[in-house]
Structure 1
Amino acid sequence: MRRGGPAAPGTVTSAEELVRRAPDGLAVVDGRARFVEANPAAVLLCGLDPDAVAGSPSPFPVPDDPAAARPGELTVAWEPGPGQRREFAYVLAPVPGEDRWVVSFRDVTLSRLRERRLAAIAKAASSVASKRSLVGTLEALAQEVAGTDALAGVQVLTVNSSGDRLHVMGAAGFGRAADFFDRLMECHALGAELKMLEALRRREPLVVPDRYEQTMRDPAWAPLHELLRHPRWDWFVSVPLLARGEPVGILNAFYAPGQVVGDTELEFLLAMAEQAAMAVDHAAQRQRERDVARREERQKLARDLHDSVVQQVFSMMMQARSLGVLVERGLPPTPDRVAQVADDLSTSAEAVLADLRGMVVELRPAATTGDGLHSALQSLVDTTTARTGVAVALDVHDPDDELSAQDGDLLEDVYRVLAEALHNSVKHADASTITVRLVVGPRGRRRRLVADVTDDGRGMTDADAAGGAAVPTGAGDSASSGYGMTVMRERADRWGGAVRVRRPAAGGTTVRLTLPLRTSLPASPAGDRTVAP
């Protein structure tokens, strides 16, 4: 445009025209946050009536004191109508000398929604990786899905082990009903079309528009009308949970009135369903590991009973029977012989009782809390010393009581690993002293648990030390101990840890358990326990 000459066609010639054509919303609001005037973009973004802009409420809160206005860009949510939620990023500037404000704003609904979805997926993945309980994980996931996309309701159901029932493991929006599946089957018997079962059978997501009206008008759905009536919803999506290609559950999403399901909405549900399927698969794997561990522990108990208690009881039986044989042959035992047998029986009975007490201590599930772990280990150490005569010492260093915040199953596995390591040292190492030491401390930015069982026994050969062997040199039952070592390593691996066997320079054997711990606060430098306000 030339200064002073006529304007070329299509050229913006005034500030008013510039405001009218601006792609961002520009408006003036009064001290009560009501529109005074607005450009066409603002009218469109806020869903205003172009002929009734003045006096319409705006989404932008204004401060009582212009001097108190926060600098920079702010965000606010706005619902011009049902199911029409929008988010605006805006900047406020006071009009000098007037109780008015100029506001410039833009629609950030989609970008903020993408951010929330990514955060929800990351949070769900973190929940799955933390190996918390399945119900807790799926409940949190359902809440994340519902909160992220402002859905009316969400259900996460899993298939039982026999594959003939579904259980609600996570829910948001709707109340819980213990008999939900039974009611669902009643609806099916009445002729209701079950889209979730179809999605499960076809192993692909199903999207159904206007499902609420269909469901509420159909008398076949009467058993579930009360449960699904509130909150009000419209579109329905059912996404199968697939683990290793097999269906393990279903994620049902109930969209609020006015919401529609497009590609981005479905992609988000698929990502969350994938996290839910991983959680179900991990839980099933952990259950299988626990079942294997229980079977192995029963087999170990059977071997220990055979090696100690059964043999000693058999010896007692033979000693008692020898007296009866002498009597049958007309050779009544002398008092000295009777006294000797009685003494042998008493000694054997004491040994049997000590072995049984030791087994009870090893088997009892007493380490499900931080204090419980310390107490259970102390009882194990004291009983072992009293039963075997081996000097066993315990040292637990947990200054910030971090063990109390750990999963009970993790603490139980720590106890089992240390009990097995102590059992191996007593049984095979011919040690005179054993030390059990447990320390919770930092490793980089993370916290970890390190537990050692160290004895001064026979030690290992160079080949054993290189291979991380489970059994000290000279062990009489290497198969049994190696078997126990396998269980110990599986327990550690369950929590991302490791068990290693080493030969200290001073001799003997050290079994070390290392586990990463869940932490809620950054690790403080050594010697500095001050927490900043």
Structure 2
Amino acid sequence: MPGNEHSNIELLKEIAELLNEETEMTTMLQGALRKFLAGTQFQTGWIFFIDGKGKHQLIAHEHLPQALEFNQCHHLQKGGCWCISKYRNGELKKATNMIECQRIENAMNAEVGDHGGITHHATVPLQSGPERFGLLNVASPHTVAFTEDELALLESVAFQMGSAIKRIVLTKQEQEMALVQERNRLARDLHDSVNQLLFSVTLTARGGSILAENDEVKQTFQEIQHLTQEALTEMRALIWQLRPKGLETGLLEGIKSYAEMLGLTIKVHVTGVIQLPSRIEETLFRIAQEGLNNIRKHAGVHEAELFITITQTDVLLVLKDEGRGFLLDTSIQIPSIGLQSMKDRAQAAGGTVDWTSQIEKGTELLIRIPY
């Protein structure tokens, strides 16, 4: 027994070192899980992250049998099970032997591969203080229950993982805060320098066009005024993208204010209650900004319609105009209208962007984001 305790202490020390060195969440958890399984009697394991609504996501797994690994871990990704139900209900406080597992049973019944003797698993919540992040599940072939010592070791590594997850979450929040502060600084600098210079040029050109007696000179001043006004509008739009002042009063007000700043009239239709996480609101706002910019620059109209539909799992945003439209060649990127930028933003949030457009019949932008 003393020798076993010594080996467990060494294992926990090695796992702690790995967790402290890693800065990327998935890589960290995958590595810690692999090291834990290699140093114990446990043979396979998987980690779920579970959000505030109880929706689970498979983050890491190691040495899964064929039945559980089939079709990109389909039976772990989909459906429900006792461990997640107990986690959601707050009944799971420590490492526990699960009497049965619906996911394993479903995989076995589907006859999609060898289950490797895996029929039961142990589970433990991943948490740091009062904050909970998900579950660590482990199993071994032909094992229905694990010993108290094995469960205690499982709790120890879960505590280490929970602390490491919290560290990375806090680091990410600090990085996001630093990014926001840098955006605000850049927005202030642009407003105080370039924006003011452009405004001064606009006034100077206007005065020049009034005072000029020669028609060609007058026309030149008017052209300078027009171009400078366009540049001023572009600059204000850029400042808005860096620091969206209207977003603190909600997504709808932010989009309305941005459209008004661009000289667009927008009709808004909402289905459901808008109570979205701030990161989802900002993603939708940024994509809507790009869509509104496209309407102002390319559609040739000054009106648009916005439809927002909120379901229990997704938010759908549709932006429509009845402008000149465009033909999209899928083999050619069109960076000038920002379609790739919108697509990248949506994909980063786990969502999608689609669009339909016909010449002289307008364009419809469809954004779907899970939350």
Tell me the TM-score normalized by structure 1.
Answer: 0.36
1:282-431 equivalences under 5 Å are 282-327=167-212, 332=213
For residues 223 and 311 of structure 1, what CA distance do their matches in structure 2 show? 69
Q: Is the 8 A contact 1:240 1:249 kept in 2?
A: yes
For residues 163 and 125 of structure 1, what CA distance do their matches in structure 2 show? 30
Counterpart of 2:18 in structure 1 is 127
For residues 149 and 259 of structure 1, what CA distance do their matches in structure 2 show? 16
Q: Is the 8 A contact 1:199 1:206 kept in 2?
A: no
1:195 aligns with 2:86: no
Q: Is the 8 A contact 1:151 1:253 kept in 2?
A: yes
2:31 to 137, 140, 145: 140
1:280 to 165, 181, 185: 165
The structure carrying a bigger helix percent of its residues is 2
1:165 aligns with 2:55: yes
1:273: Cα distance to partner? Answer: 0.4
1:184 aligns with 2:75: no
Q: 1:165 to 1:255 in 2, by over 3 A?
A: same
Give unpaired runs (5+ residues) of structure 2.
243-371
1:243: Cα distance to partner? Answer: 2.0
2:137 to 225, 248, 252: 252
1:271 to 156, 167, 181: 156
Q: Give deviations 1:244-290, integer Å, cap 9, x for gaps.
A: 31321101111333685222211110111011112221222223223
Q: 1:255 to 1:227 in 2, by over 3 A?
A: farther
Counterpart of 1:115 in structure 2 is 6
For residues 228 and 205 of structure 1, what CA distance do their matches in structure 2 show? 32
Q: Give deviations 1:198-224, integer Å, cap 9, x for gaps.
A: 145223135337747x987x6xx3588
For residues 130 and 109 of structure 2, what CA distance do their matches in structure 1 show? 31
User: Larger C-alpha radius of gyration, 1 or 2?
Assistant: 1
Q: Give deviations 1:305-337, integer Å, cap 9, x for gaps.
A: 11111011111111111112214xxxx2799x9
Counterpart of 1:205 in structure 2 is 94
Q: Is the 8 A contact 1:154 1:254 kept in 2?
A: yes
Q: Is the 8 A contact 2:120 2:139 kept in 1?
A: yes
Q: Give deviations 1:339-388, integer Å, cap 9, x for gaps.
A: xx98xx8xxx9xx9xxx9xx9xxx9xxxxxxxxxxxxxxxxxxxxxxxxx
For residues 111 and 98 of structure 2, what CA distance do their matches in structure 1 show? 21
1:150 aligns with 2:41: yes
For residues 249 and 228 of structure 1, what CA distance do their matches in structure 2 show? 27
Q: 1:243 to 1:148 in 2, by over 3 A?
A: same
For residues 223 and 312 of structure 1, what CA distance do their matches in structure 2 show? 70
1:443-462 equivalences under 5 Å are none
For the residue of structure 2 that corresponds to 1:168, the secondary structure is: strand
Tell me the TM-score normalized by structure 2.
Answer: 0.50
1:237 to 85, 106, 122: 122
1:171: Cα distance to partner? Answer: 1.3
Q: Give deviations 1:102-133, integer Å, cap 9, x for gaps.
A: xxxxxxxx445433322221222222222421
Q: 1:129 to 1:295 in 2, by over 3 A?
A: same
**Aligned residue pairs: how many?**
223
Identity %: 18
The code of the aligned residue for 1:197 comes to: S
For the residue of structure 1 that corresponds to 2:79, the secondary structure is: helix
For residues 35 and 177 of structure 2, what CA distance do their matches in structure 1 show? 34
For the residue of structure 1 that corresponds to 2:41, the secondary structure is: coil
For the residue of structure 2 that corresponds to 1:247, the secondary structure is: strand
For the residue of structure 2 that corresponds to 1:202, the secondary structure is: coil
Give unpaired runs (5+ residues) of structure 1.
1-109, 189-193, 364-533
Q: Which has the higher contact order (CA 8 A, sep 6+)?
A: 2
Q: Is the 8 A contact 1:113 1:148 kept in 2?
A: no
1:233: Cα distance to partner? Answer: 3.0
For the residue of structure 2 that corresponds to 1:146, the secondary structure is: helix
The code of the aligned residue for 2:78 comes to: R
Q: 1:130 to 1:163 in 2, by over 3 A?
A: farther
Counterpart of 2:287 in structure 1 is none
Q: Give deviations 1:145-170, integer Å, cap 9, x for gaps.
A: 2111132211121123x433212222
For the residue of structure 2 that corresponds to 1:184, the secondary structure is: coil
The code of the aligned residue for 1:204 comes to: K
Counterpart of 1:526 in structure 2 is none
For residues 334 and 154 of structure 1, what CA distance do their matches in structure 2 show? 81
For residues 177 and 53 of structure 2, what CA distance do their matches in structure 1 show? 22
1:303: Cα distance to partner? Answer: 0.5
Q: 1:274 to 1:256 in 2, by over 3 A?
A: same
For residues 215 and 311 of structure 1, what CA distance do their matches in structure 2 show? 62
For residues 228 and 211 of structure 1, what CA distance do their matches in structure 2 show? 19
The code of the aligned residue for 2:85 comes to: L
